[in-house]
Amino acid sequence: MQRVTQPVLEPNELTLHGHRVSYGKAGRGPVLLLLHGITNSSETWERVASRLSERFTLIAPDLLGHGNSATPRGDYSLGAHASAVRDVLTSLGHERVTVIGHSLGGGIAMQFAYQFPERCERLVLVSSGGLGREVHLLLRAAALPGADWVLPVIASRRLLDVGRSLGALLQRVRLAPGGDLEVLARGFASLDNAGSRQAFLHTVRAVIEPGGQRVSASDRLALAARLPTLIVWGERDSIIPVDHGAAAHHAMPGSRFEVFPAAGHMPHDDDPDRFAAILTAFCDGTEPARLSADHWQPLRGDGPA
């Protein structure tokens, strides 16, 4: 897969609650908060960043436990990640954003919109987690007992070359999208120290169990009726199936659903021109939501029995 040699996202870092948080920044205009997937980093947005930075301010943090951010012992739940990116935005002086999440980042984006609706103007889910049970076997295996001992063996640089070779072979015989296997291999190969491996295990076990994804936003999707929502998926996604996106679209009144026929798990990387065009048109064609902090309360149906 082609990689960008000169980063568009300018690397920066700040300290939050005693921990280093790395983030990329580019462009000027309305703010897009870009949240990457598990074992990825802000680099996952590089190919599309040059297109988007012409119109928007891009803030792309490395989630705690990922990329160049710290790998502390602590809480790696969706709620903790959502609070952390809220703190990043506050530190940078950004009150309201369009939040865009890929894979694990999609689950965090939905949690961010639920916890902090007053900070969220739009929601964009890209091959998002948290919308169904099915997920790739390798990620389910990481939730098994004993994965702590196996992970240092498989998280080696050799795995990247194996993933590329196996992915190319399976793609030629039409058994699986080669790009998705490379994404997994590259992610596992990034777990090259004890801190990143432990952070990965805590993160994956917060959202996945051996039988599949354990966290589901399906009971809250209807609450997004007043939040402009765009769902983007690769039709050939072998990590999280496109059916999850279709079901979420059906459950989210007024949402938009875009499928990239030739793409796998990373449609924004596979076709950055189309992704940037669709996202820009979505932002131009929708009014940013202005919700209160307690927006969800009257919609949830909670109350005394």
**92-108 pLDDT tens trace:** 999 999 999 999 999 99
Average pLDDT over residues 197-220: 87
Active site residue 192: no
**Cβ-based neighbours of 98, under 8 Å, separated by 6 or more:** 30, 31, 32, 33, 120, 121, 122, 123, 124, 283, 288
**52-73 pLDDT tens trace:** 999 999 999 999 999 999 999 8
Residues of the chain with pLDDT > 70, as a percent, come to: 84
Average pLDDT over residues 237-266: 95
Active site residue 103: yes
pLDDT above 50: residue 2:
no
**230-251 pLDDT tens trace:** 999 999 999 999 999 999 999 9
pLDDT above 70: residue 5:
no
Per-residue confidence band for 118, with pLDDT thresholds at 50, 70 and 90: very high
Average pLDDT over residues 114-134: 96
More confident residue, 209 or 281: 281
**Multiple choice CATH, 10-134+216-289, 1.20.59.20, 3.30.450.20, 3.40.50.1820, 3.40.50.300:** 3.40.50.1820
Per-residue confidence band for 174, with pLDDT thresholds at 50, 70 and 90: very low
CA distance 84 to 249: 27
- Catalytic residue among 237, 269, 270, 271, which? 237
More confident residue, 2 or 270: 270
To the question of pTM greater than 0.85 for the whole model, the response is yes
Average pLDDT over residues 183-189: 76
Q: For position 4, what pLDDT does the model report? A: 43
Q: For position 164, what pLDDT does the model report? A: 47
Instruction: Indicate the average pLDDT of the chain.
Output: 86
Active site residue 265: yes
pLDDT above 80: residue 78:
yes
